[in-house]
Amino acid sequence: MARYLGPKVKLSRRVGVPIADIPKHTAKRQLTPPGVHGYRGRRIKDYGVRLTEKQKLRYHYSVMEKQFRRYVGEAARRKGNTGEVLLQLLEQRLDNVVRRAGFVRTVWAARQMVGHGHVLVNGHKIDRPSYAIKPGDSVSIRSRIHKLARENMESMAGHMVPSWMEVNPAELSAKVLSVPTPDQIPFDVNTNLIVEFYR
């Protein structure tokens, strides 16, 4: 299972937006380019603009290039707007559902929680972060890490749960009610540029 193990804040600086909703990434000084004056160098060409949009989405969901390309191919095969379908596929990943439910702060922590077998889908242990959650599925946390999950939820007191899912904080479980729509995704990205990048 390939994953990025390098410095995470460097990814936010590279694309110019916070890829995780934690102070380390959202601090203004972290988003300025490196160097005394934040020198950017020459102006970005069209290819660079599309590449940056693609990397933004990849880093936000912590997906490697080969897997991301597969998601783009799957989105192109399905009916509907390719960009919107791509966002839905990424948003329905198990690690992302755990993050959106507020059980952990970042996608990397969610990925670790899933990989260690602490997450149950419909009562069955699933240890694949890329597992696709469907409407009607329920996701719960195993009892042995309830303490950790509750601490995480307390530290994110103002966390907003998206309307396409329902969370039960008492039982530390979440139920997916519907497929997420692009306006329900709290990350600003231009999917048209991403689709153009792969054409």
Residue ranges of domains in the chain: 9-90+188-197, 93-178
Two domains, one topology: 9-90+188-197 and 93-178: no
Give the start-end residues of each E strand in 70-164: 119-121, 124-125, 138-141
pLDDT at 66: 93
Q: Is 10 helix (H, G, I), strand (E, B) or coil?
A: helix
Phi, psi of 140 (to 5 degrees): -135, 165
CATH match for 9-90+188-197 among 1.10.1050.10, 3.40.50.2300, 1.10.645.10, 2.60.120.10? 1.10.1050.10
- Contacting residues for 61 by C-beta, under 8 A, at least 6 apart: 90, 93, 96, 107
Mean pLDDT of successive 10-residue segments in the chain (199 residues)?
Answer: 78 80 67 62 81 90 92 93 92 92 90 93 92 93 90 81 88 91 84 88
Tokens representing residue 174 in the block: 């979440």
Q: Is 15 helix (H, G, I), strand (E, B) or coil?
A: helix
Q: Is 179 helix (H, G, I), strand (E, B) or coil?
A: coil
Q: Is 93-178 a CATH 3.30.565.10 domain? A: no
CA atoms within 13 A on the CB side of 189: 30
pLDDT at 43: 76
Whether residue 110 contacts residue 98, with contact meaning beta carbons closer than 8 Å, is answered with yes
